Amino acid sequence: MATVTRALMSVSDKRGIVDLARGLVELGIEILSTGGTAKAIMEAGIAVTPVEEFTGFPEMLDGRVKTLHPRIHAGILHRRSDLNHQQAMAAHDLKPIDLIVVNLYPFEQTVARPDCTFADAIENIDIGGPSLLRASAKNHTDVGVVVDPDDYPTILAALKEKGTLSAEQKLGLAKKAFRLTARYDGAISDYLGSLDGEERLPFGETLHLQYTKAQDLRYGENPHQSAAFYHSPAIQEPCVATAKQLQGKALSYNNIVDANAAFELLKEFDETAVVAIKHTNPCGVATSTDSLVDAFRKTHACDPVSIFGGIVGLNREVDEATAREILNLKVFLEIIIAPRYAAKALDILASSKRMQNTRIMEISVLADAQPARYEAKPIVGGLLYQERDMGHVNVRDCEVVTKRQPTDAEYQALAFAWRVCKHVKSNAIVLTASDQVIGVGAGQMSRVDSAKIAVSRAQQIGLETAGSVVASDAFFPFRDGLDVVAKAGATAAIQPGGSMRDKDLIEAADEHSMAMIMTGMRHFRH
283 and 136 in one domain?
no
For residue range 113-139, list pLDDT tens digits in order: 888 898 999 999 988 899 999 999 999
Mean pLDDT of 416-428: 95
- Structural domains of the chain, count: 3
For residue range 375-421, list pLDDT tens digits in order: 999 999 999 999 999 889 999 999 999 999 999 999 999 999 999 99
Domain membership flag for residue 212: no
Residue 337: give the domain boundaries: 238-368
**3-state SS of the chain: helix, strand, coil percent to 5?**
40, 20, 40
Domain membership flag for residue 389: no
474 and 423 in one domain?
yes
Whichever domain contains 359, its CATH number is 3.40.140.20
Domain membership flag for residue 313: yes
Residues 6+ apart with CB under 8 A from 298: 274, 284, 286, 288, 435, 436
For residue range 217-251, list pLDDT tens digits in order: 999 999 999 999 999 877 878 889 989 999 999 99
Does the annotation mark 138 as catalytic?
Answer: yes
Whether residue 328 is preceded by a cis peptide bond, meaning omega within 30 degrees of 0, is: no
Whichever domain contains 194, its CATH number is 3.40.50.1380
For residue 237, the model assigns a pLDDT of 84
For residue 131, the model assigns a pLDDT of 92
292 and 152 in one domain?
no
State what percent of residues in the chain have pLDDT above 90. 74
Active-site residue, from 69, 176, 249, 279: 279
Does the annotation mark 78 as catalytic?
Answer: no
156 pLDDT band, cuts 50/70/90, is very high
CB-side exposure of 282: number of CA atoms within 13 Å? Answer: 34
Mean pLDDT of 88-99: 91
363 and 242 in one domain?
yes
Inform me whether the pLDDT recorded for 140 exceeds 80. Answer: yes
26 and 162 in one domain?
yes
| Under 8 Å between Cβ of 331 and 309 | no
Q: What does the chain come to in residues?
A: 526
For residue range 246-298, list pLDDT tens digits in order: 999 999 999 999 999 999 999 999 999 999 999 999 999 999 999 999 999 99
63 and 157 in one domain?
yes
349 and 433 in one domain?
no
For residue range 448-484, list pLDDT tens digits in order: 999 999 999 999 999 999 999 999 999 999 999 999 9
Inform me whether the pLDDT recorded for 15 exceeds 70. Answer: yes
Which of 146, 172, 198 terminates a domain? The answer is 198
Domain membership flag for residue 228: no
Mean pLDDT of 71-90: 90
For residue 366, the model assigns a pLDDT of 54
Q: What are phi and psi of 265, to 5 degrees?
A: -70, -40
Number of Cβ atoms within 10 Å of the Cβ of 392: 12
Domain membership flag for residue 141: yes
364 and 402 in one domain?
no
Inform me whether the pLDDT recorded for 365 exceeds 70. Answer: no
Domain membership flag for residue 225: no
For residue 369, the model assigns a pLDDT of 54
Inform me whether the pLDDT recorded for 178 exceeds 70. Answer: yes
Its sign, for the CA torsion 130, 134, 136, 140, is: positive
Which of 168, 198, 228 terminates a domain? The answer is 198
Strands 374-379 and 382-387: antiparallel
Domain membership flag for residue 387: no
Strands 195-196 and 469-472: unpaired
N- to C-terminal Cα separation, the chain: 57
For residue 428, the model assigns a pLDDT of 95
Which of 198, 214, 247 terminates a domain? The answer is 198
Q: Is 301 left (phi over 0), alpha (psi -120 to 50) or beta?
A: alpha
For residue 355, the model assigns a pLDDT of 86
Active-site residue, from 138, 175, 176, 249: 138
Mean pLDDT of 208-213: 89
Three-state SS for 233-263 is: CCCCCCCHHHCEEEECCCCCHHHHHHHHHHH
| Under 8 Å between Cβ of 284 and 303 | yes
d(CA 267, CA 467): 27
For residue 367, the model assigns a pLDDT of 54
437 and 320 in one domain?
no
165 and 55 in one domain?
yes
